[in-house]
């Protein structure tokens, strides 16, 4: 598949990529060795919890090392990713996604009504995802997206599902740390995701060399709609840009063998803005292809998202009206396929 550059890939003037973007060397790097040791008592984790709290408060992003996901499994996943995107176009198109079954392959996608310079492949860690058929609150029908696997890579489903299970385990541990950093019971947040109805999914990203990297982006500026994103960068090719609270775009350098973590919209709403879902984007180059593998932690479609009672008070009342996650997801997804459709944001639910 060869993407052909046209005007729909061109970012708005105030969003154009910066070829001289500074490298961001201060993103927190957090070692999970002590936390993943089952013999470590909670009282010995105070410094680690403070690190998580500071990372989520100041940056919204952090890197984890010694995270427990086997190196060999990640290497298999990277190999599968490259094999899939190297398939002939007609084979990838056999598992092409559409506006109903949003799992599978897609060449190009839209972010806030601008086309992204990328190819993607999405799959569910449960095998399928149920979502509302419409973002309309009066609509009760649901629709189901199911995993699609190419015929030409026999072990793809096995490797992908094994990897999904391993990274989901890491996500559950990270939720525990985030709960502790908010002075909540350690496993309070986990129950939202430990269900067969979870919408958690994984994406394989391929960003081909782009003829106009000064005009286009692999993914335009956005905030993630789920709770957590766990990103594996591949081959040390950096391209993740994060917007600081001061409004500056900076490039995140991948640490070998690490994962980059960011809080999503759900965390921001739950914490009543104590932790922010940070804006980020993916840059491309004219000479190098880039691959990445993000894991998106989503609850079941019927889950109501609102500020947690324990994190609001008379002095800090709820800043958001509650909303059903599946309808929010549906509204966001609609604009991925068709240009000119409003892209839903959690700001739409912010109380005046």
pLDDT number for residue 334: 63
Q: What is the pLDDT of residues 320-349, one digit of tens each?
A: 999 999 988 888 776 555 555 556 788 889
Beta bridge partners of 320: 350
What total number of domains does the chain contain?
1
Q: Choose the most confident range, by mean pLDDT, from 33-37, 158-162, 277-281, 326-330.
A: 158-162
Q: Say yes or no to pLDDT of 24 above 70.
A: no
Q: Is residue 299 part of a domain?
A: yes
- What pTM was computed for the model? 0.95
| Closest to 319 in 3D by CA, of 279, 277, 270 | 270
pLDDT number for residue 238: 83
Residues 75-81, mean pLDDT to the nearest whole number: 97
Q: Is residue 1 part of a domain?
A: no
CATH number of the domain that residue 89 is part of:
2.60.120.330
Tokens linked to 276: 């922010």
Q: Is residue 109 part of a domain?
A: yes
Q: Is residue 2 part of a domain?
A: no
Give the range among 76-90, 100-114, 338-352 with minimum mean pLDDT.
338-352
| Closest to 201 in 3D by CA, of 278, 292, 103, 291 | 103
pLDDT number for residue 25: 63
Residues 6+ apart with CB under 8 A from 231: 240, 259, 260, 261, 262, 292, 293, 294, 295
- Burial state string for 216-233 with b = 16 or more CB within 10 A and e = fewer than 16: bbbbbbbbbbbbbbbbbb
pLDDT number for residue 138: 74
With helix as H, strand as E and coil as C, how does the chain read? CCCCCCHHHCCCHHHCCCCCCCEECCCCEEECHHHHCCCCCHHHHHHHHHHHHHHHHHHCEEEEECCCCCHHHHHHHHHHHHHHHCCCHHHHHCCECCCCCCCEEEECCEECCEECCCEEEEEECCCEEEEECCCCCCCCCEEEEECCCCCCCCCHHHHHHHHHHHHHHHHHHHHHHHHHHCCCCCCCCHHHCCCCCECCEEEEEEECCCCCCCCCCCEEEECCCCCEEEEEECCCCCCEEEECCCCCEEEECCCCCCEEEEECHHHHHHCCCCCCCCCEEECCCCCCCEEEEEEEECCECCCEECCCHHHCCCCCCCCECCEEHHHHHHHHHHHHHCCCCCCCCHHHHECC
Tokens linked to 7: 């005007």
pLDDT number for residue 343: 64
Instruction: Note down the domain range covering 254.
Output: 7-349
């Amino acid at each position: 598949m060869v993407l052909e550059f046209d005007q729909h890939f061109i970012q708005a003037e105030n969003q154009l990529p910066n070829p001289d973007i500074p490298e961001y060397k201060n993103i927190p790097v957090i070692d999970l060795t002590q936390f993943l040791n089952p013999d470590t008592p909670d009282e010995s984790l105070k410094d680690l919890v403070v690190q998580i709290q500071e990372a989520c408060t100041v940056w919204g992003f952090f890197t984890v090392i010694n995270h427990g996901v086997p190196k060999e499994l990640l290497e298999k996943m990277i190999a599968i990713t490259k094999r899939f995107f190297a398939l002939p176009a007609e084979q990838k198109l056999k598992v092409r996604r559409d506006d109903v079954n949003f799992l599978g392959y897609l060449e190009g996608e839209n972010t806030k009504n601008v086309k992204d310079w990328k190819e993607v492949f999405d799959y569910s860690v449960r095998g399928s995802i149920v979502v509302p058929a419409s973002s309309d609150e009066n609509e009760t029908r649901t629709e189901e997206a199911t995993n699609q696997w190419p015929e030409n890579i026999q072990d793809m489903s096995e490797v992908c599902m094994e990897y999904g299970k391993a990274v989901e385990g890491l996500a559950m541990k990270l939720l525990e740390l985030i709960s502790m950093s908010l002075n909540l019971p350690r496993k309070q947040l986990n129950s939202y995701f430990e269900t067969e109805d979870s919408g958690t999914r994984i994406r394989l990203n391929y960003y081909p060399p782009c003829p106009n990297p000064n005009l286009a982006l692999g993914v335009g500026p956005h905030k993630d709609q789920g709770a957590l994103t766990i990103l594996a960068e591949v081959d040390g090719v950096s391209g993740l840009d994060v917007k600081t609270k001061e409004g500056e775009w900076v490039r995140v350098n991948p640490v070998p063998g690490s994962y980059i973590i960011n809080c999503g919209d759900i965390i921001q709403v739950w914490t009543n803005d104590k932790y922010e879902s940070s804006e980020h984007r993916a840059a491309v180059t004219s000479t190098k292809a880039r691959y990445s593998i993000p894991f998106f932690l989503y609850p079941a479609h019927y889950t109501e998202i609102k500020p947690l009672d324990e994190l609001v008070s008379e002095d800090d009342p709820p800043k958001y009206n509650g909303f059903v996650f599946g309808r929010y997801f549906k509204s966001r997804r609609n604009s991925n396929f068709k240009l000119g459709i409003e892209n839903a944001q959690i700001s739409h639910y912010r109380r005046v």
